[in-house]
């Protein structure tokens, strides 16, 4: 992993990366903050707050609620997680100015990496969504990207405009174009987590998996997170569908 990610993520298991979806959490009868806290208790080490429909004010309130929930989990359970803001670089900058350890993830159509780095400073972790060799090279050549989201690996309904899934073989091919920490995203469930975990075991990469609906829509998001984490991390040939006991 890069130096920036090591400093920000010291002592954090970043292999399970949870991305929030406000509508899905509401459908499951929970707030985003409640779902994020449960995901971290289950093993998520990164939580990205994403809501494409909220205005900046509503989004900032949501981010603050999640930040407070993560602080509570850290204090009560000893489980720390990185807080990542999706797209809203000015929100991330305001939170950081107040001492909240917020980081950023941007897509191909969001803020420029150089602009985001200038606003957030050298200690911020900045992730970038990628899906082609050219996008990966651009992120690397910028010198500002700390990690990559690569996908979609499987087709997903979370993002209506997402292209078809590239599969694990496609993921493996894209990983050849980067040495940055990379996270597989798109339609990842427990079975898929195991497939990506097997790829990681063979190649030493990727850094982890990103999930949305597998946790947001679960009846028990803490258990769902534990199962996903176990599926990714268990040695090849020993993976099963059981979560570790607390």
CATH number assigned to the domain comprising residue 179: 3.20.20.70
User: Helices 56-77 and 32-42 meet at what angle, rounded to 10?
Assistant: 30
> 244 lies in a domain?
no
Number of domains forming the structure of the chain: 1
Average of per-residue pLDDT across 216-242: 82
Evaluate whether residue 37 is within a structural domain. Answer: yes
Region 144-155: mean pLDDT is 94
Residues designated as active site: 50, 129, 159
Residue 189 lies in a domain: yes
Q: Which domain holds residue 54?
A: 3-233
Is 246 a member of any domain? no
pLDDT of residue 244: 40
Residue 243 forms part of a structural domain: no
Binding site as annotated, residues for Mg(2+): 87, 110
Angle CA 1–132–43, to nearest 5: 40
Q: What is the three-class DSSP state of 24?
A: helix
Query: Residue range 45-63: average pLDDT?
Result: 97
Residue 135 lies in a domain: yes
Query: Which residues belong to the annotated binding site?
Result: 48-52, 86-87, 110, 129, 156-159, 187, 212-213
Is residue 134 one of the residues assigned to a domain? yes
Whether residue 214 contacts residue 228, with contact meaning beta carbons closer than 8 Å, is answered with yes
pLDDT tens string 190-215: 999 999 999 999 888 778 999 999 99
Decide: 194 and 202 in contact? Cβ < 8 Å. Answer: no
Burial string for 40-49 (b: 16+ CB within 10 Å, else e) reads bbbbbbbbbb
Tell which wins on pLDDT, 172 or 234: 172
Does the global pTM surpass 0.85?
yes
Query: What pLDDT is attached to residue 203?
Result: 86
Q: Which two tokens stand for residue 42?
A: 């289950």
């Amino acid at each position: 992993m890069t130096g920036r990610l090591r400093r920000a993520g010291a002592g954090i298991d970043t292999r399970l990366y949870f991305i929030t979806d406000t509508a899905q959490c509401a459908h499951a009868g929970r707030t985003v903050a409640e779902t994020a806290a449960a995901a971290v208790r289950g093993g998520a080490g990164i939580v990205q707050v994403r809501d494409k429909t909220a205005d900046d004010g509503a989004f900032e309130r949501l981010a603050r609620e999640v930040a407070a929930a993560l602080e509570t989990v850290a204090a009560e359970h000893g489980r720390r997680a990185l807080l990542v803001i999706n797209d809203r670089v000015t929100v991330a900058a305001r939170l950081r100015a107040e001492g909240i350890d917020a980081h950023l993830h941007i897509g191909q159509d969001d803020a420029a990496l150089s602009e985001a780095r200038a606003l957030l400073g050298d200690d911020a972790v900045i992730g970038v969504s990628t899906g082609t060799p050219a996008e990966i090279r651009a992120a690397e050549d910028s010198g500002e990207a700390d990690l990559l989201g690569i996908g979609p690996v499987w087709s997903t309904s979370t993002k209506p405009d997402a292209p078809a899934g590239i599969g694990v073989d496609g993921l493996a091919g894209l990983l050849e174009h980067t040495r940055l920490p990379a996270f597989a995203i798109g339609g990842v469930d427990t079975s898929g987590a195991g497939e990506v975990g097997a790829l990681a075991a063979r190649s030493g990469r990727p850094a982890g998996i990103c999930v949305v609906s597998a946790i947001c829509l679960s009846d028990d998001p803490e258990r769902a997170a534990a199962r996903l984490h176990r599926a990714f991390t268990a040695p090849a040939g020993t993976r099963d569908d059981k979560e570790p006991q607390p």
